[in-house]
Copies of this chain bind each other. A is one copy, B any other.
Amino acid sequence: MSSRRIVILTEGYTNPSRAKTAAGVLRYAGDDVVAVLDSAKAGQTAQTLLNAGGDTPIVASVKEVAQANTLMVGVAPTGGKLPTPMRRHVLEAIQLGWTIESGLHDFLCEDEEFAAVARESGAVLKDYRKNAERDVAMRQGLRAECLRLHTVGHDCSVGKMATAIELARGLSVADVDAKFVATGQTGMMIEGDGLPIDAVVGDFISGAAEKLVLENQHHEAVVVEGQGSITHPCYAAVTLGLLHGCAPHGVVYCYEMGRANIHGLDHIELPAIADSIELVLANAVPPCRLIGIAINGRDVSDAEYVNEKECVIEAHGVPAVDVYREGAGDLVKAALKFREAGFGAAT
């Protein structure tokens, strides 16, 4: 059990799409969380506002939560800066000597005021995206017996991390020694290890991804969290570096039903799912197979979802499931079958 007693800071951002980090940590490491902080929403619960976290209370200030020792910045906005309304809460927690966990591109430890106050109080500033990765990929030494799975998708914020976690946990339940490999700040906050691939310098992205596999391939299976999408105007570099570096035997493709345009770039249409899958496989290190599809149907009716699911299974010949609706059972079964069949290499 972790000794962290976390308050998640979402000031002004307390909804599931803007506070993705908060929602993910509440869902998958919720036992460590004692409160969520948003001064305008105090008195409500995490479940109501973030769709995760049950009765975890929303509080107005760090001072209300004497039993906590960690303030976690619960957002990771585009560009990666700390939203201004959050600043006073961070400062207060630093003054109390708490650990501050952040996944922002702008590092708390490089903020002069934060650093000075932390030196006084003994607070630890933990910047998950800070890294000095300098390994280039070698595409050597991969253990043939370790099944490498990877989640990819058509856009950001469609469930690639959740699907990877659910798949790894499901494999573990099925007695496969499987490891969720975190590649982003939220996954790292949940899992306690991993690397922030999108914060690694260009030349070393694939090397960092490869290193994550090399370090974890003593497990029977690794499930590597995906980032962005292969066609994303901002983040495809990270997606491809990761796809090359972790060299998956199988990918699970994740998409959200009804999403027509790129998250945050409304003037750009998303590609058709079939084209997007084809492009992922064309870019992957062969042999690589599509083993399942994770449909995110958060904004559609059950009838619409069921209809979509049937069409997708028919079109792609692999299991498809909404992990949030039905759990990852069908994907776990697909992974077990793929493993029994020798990872598709021979077929």
Query: Which chain B positions have C-beta within 8 A of A200?
Result: 201-202
Give CA–CA (A139, B265) in the complex, Å: 8
* A105 and B203 contact, CB distance less than 8 A: yes
Query: Which chain B positions have C-beta within 8 A of A233?
Result: 137-139, 206, 244, 285
Q: How many residues of A contact B (CB 8 A)?
A: 38
Query: Which chain B positions have C-beta within 8 A of A267?
Result: 139-140
Give CA–CA (A328, B285) in the complex, Å: 34
Asked if A202 meets B207 with Cβ closer than 8 Å, knowing A236-B240, A244-B233, A268-B139, the reply is no
Residue A258, interface by CB 8 Å? no
Query: Which chain B positions have C-beta within 8 A of A282?
Result: 279, 282
Query: Which chain B positions have C-beta within 8 A of A199?
Result: 201-203
Give CA–CA (A203, B134) in the complex, Å: 17
* B139 and A237 contact, CB distance less than 8 A: no
Q: List the number of copies, as a whole number.
A: 2
Query: Which chain B positions have C-beta within 8 A of A238?
Result: 202-203, 205, 237
A79 CB contact (under 8 Å) in B80, B134, B230, B234: B134
Please provide the chain A residues from 185 to 214 with a CB less than 8 Å away from any CB of chain B in the complex: 197-203, 205-207
- Interface bits A103-126 vs B (CB < 8 Å: 1, else 0): 001000000000000000000000
Residue A170, interface by CB 8 Å? no
Query: Which chain B positions have C-beta within 8 A of A135?
Result: 79
Please provide the chain A residues from 139 to 174 with a CB less than 8 Å away from any CB of chain B in the complex: 139-140
Give CA–CA (A296, B197) in the complex, Å: 34
Q: Which of A230, A240, A268 has the most CB of B within 10 A?
A: A240
Residue A312, interface by CB 8 Å? no
Q: Which of A78, A197, A205, A237 has the most CB of B within 10 A?
A: A237
Please provide the chain A residues from 75 to 103 with a CB less than 8 Å away from any CB of chain B in the complex: 78-80
Residue A235, interface by CB 8 Å? yes
Q: Which residue of B lies closest to A275 (CB)?
A: B282
Query: Which chain B positions have C-beta within 8 A of A265?
Result: 138-139
Give CA–CA (A133, B202) in the complex, Å: 12
Asked if A235 meets B140 with Cβ closer than 8 Å, knowing A240-B240, A279-B282, the reply is no
- Interface bits A255-296 vs B (CB < 8 Å: 1, else 0): 000000000010110000000000100110100000000000
Nearest-Cβ distance from residue A236 to partner chain B, whole angstroms: 5
Residue A336, interface by CB 8 Å? no
Asked if A202 meets B202 with Cβ closer than 8 Å, knowing A134-B79, A139-B233, the reply is yes
* B105 and A201 contact, CB distance less than 8 A: yes
Q: Which of A206, A238, A241, A267 has the most CB of B within 10 A?
A: A241
Please provide the chain A residues from 211 to 248 with a CB less than 8 Å away from any CB of chain B in the complex: 230, 233-238, 240-241, 244
Q: Which 7 A-B pairs have the closest CB atoms?
A: A237-B241, A205-B237, A202-B238, A237-B237, A139-B233, A198-B202, A136-B234
Binding site for B on A (CB under 8 A): 78-80, 105, 134-140, 197-203, 205-207, 230, 233-238, 240-241, 244, 265, 267-268, 279, 282-283, 285
Known: A198-B201, A202-B237, A206-B234. 12 other contacts (CB 8 A): A137-B234, A140-B267, A199-B202, A200-B201, A201-B202, A203-B234, A203-B238, A206-B233, A206-B235, A236-B241, A237-B240, A279-B283
